[in-house]
Structure 1
């Protein structure tokens, strides 16, 4: 298995400002054994809907949760309402460009041991979870009631798919995965259910079984 999850890319009107926000909030927490980085790319398109994926940040205590929220607000984030119920204890915020994320209350067993960035939570199908598990070689760590989750064997955050009902996808996603690997891996991904869209600048544009865009960076192999 030679495919790696290289990065999560954000389409940004002001990439430097957005990078400052997330670096200030996360530091290097998401980088490490998984090789998982953040990338901020310039884009002119407006944000017109709730993102298909978002971060779930963990808390060690209620005071820790409050500190994370306060830090996010200080850096330029804001509270938002996406229909969360009053009894829910997580806090829903958005970064300076409106990208949603959650600060989860302490004691969440599902995210225990995952670190500060507990999960990349995706609006997607069980089929998408199976695809990404096979694509990355990350085992399924949850598979119940059409909800799935995978995690790198090296640890780090989970990637989760919540199952139906799905938010309608209108236009390209602002957040998308960036993979890297040898060129023959592209055909393997297609066989697993991906669709190849086009090639340029050493990258292959693709979509997963749910139609979510991702990029595959072709890694040169030794002669």
Structure 2
């Protein structure tokens, strides 16, 4: 069963258009962004309240080289993204930013594990039990578990193409924004 990632937005159509431009994907029905190749759809729904705190889901963008990582960061910044501090160390090799509605995202340094993901390397989800969540979603989506630890678990599509689905330990995650799509 396919997966969709849902984000609450003050201006769903504007945010969908922004993300379509960032990823090079297509806007469908005004508020859904679909990949033209490997990826998972992103859906933007009207928010019932203003965003507060960090999201329980964020997107990691893939880069092919350190120069490409810098180019992606510059392009995002020029399109309205801002640098964000979510408590990360100054020593991390990725860059944390937020989109035009303050949804966190990371621009990753080059990693071989994400070579076939397309522009979206991973969908990262906060979870009280990453292993349990990974096992449940692996069965639901028919994905392979590629890493499984107490603090982190990672899945990838059986084809090896498309973003990984990753779970990070968090003692107090918000309700999920991942949805299986009907077949």
Distance 1:34 1:61, change over 3 A: closer
Contact 2:39/2:118, CA 8 A, preserved across alignment: no
| Gap runs ≥5 in structure 1 | 182-218
Quote the residue 2:20 is aligned against.
23
CA distance in 1, matches of 2:10, 2:165: 26
CA distance in 2, matches of 1:167, 1:20: 33
Quote the residue 1:9 is aligned against.
6
CA distance in 2, matches of 1:34, 1:70: 24
TM-score relative to the length of structure 1: 0.70
Distance 1:32 1:143, change over 3 A: farther
| Gap runs ≥5 in structure 2 | 27-33
The answer to whether structure 1 residue 37 and structure 2 residue 41 are counterparts is yes
- How far is 1:35 from its partner? 6.8
Quote the residue 2:81 is aligned against.
77
Distance 1:80 1:179, change over 3 A: same
Contact 2:120/2:163, CA 8 A, preserved across alignment: yes
CA distance in 2, matches of 1:78, 1:146: 28
Q: Write the mapping of 1:96-107 to structure 2, written as runs, cut at 5 A.
A: 96-106=100-110
- How far is 1:66 from its partner? 1.3
Distance 1:33 1:134, change over 3 A: farther
For residues 162-216 of structure 1, the C-alpha deviation after alignment (integer angstroms, 9 at most, x for no partner) is 23xx15235x45xx123233xxxxxxxxxxxxxxxxxxxxxxxxxxxxxxxxxxx
Q: Partner of 1:139: helix, strand, or coil?
A: strand
RMSD of aligned C-alpha atoms? Answer: 2.1
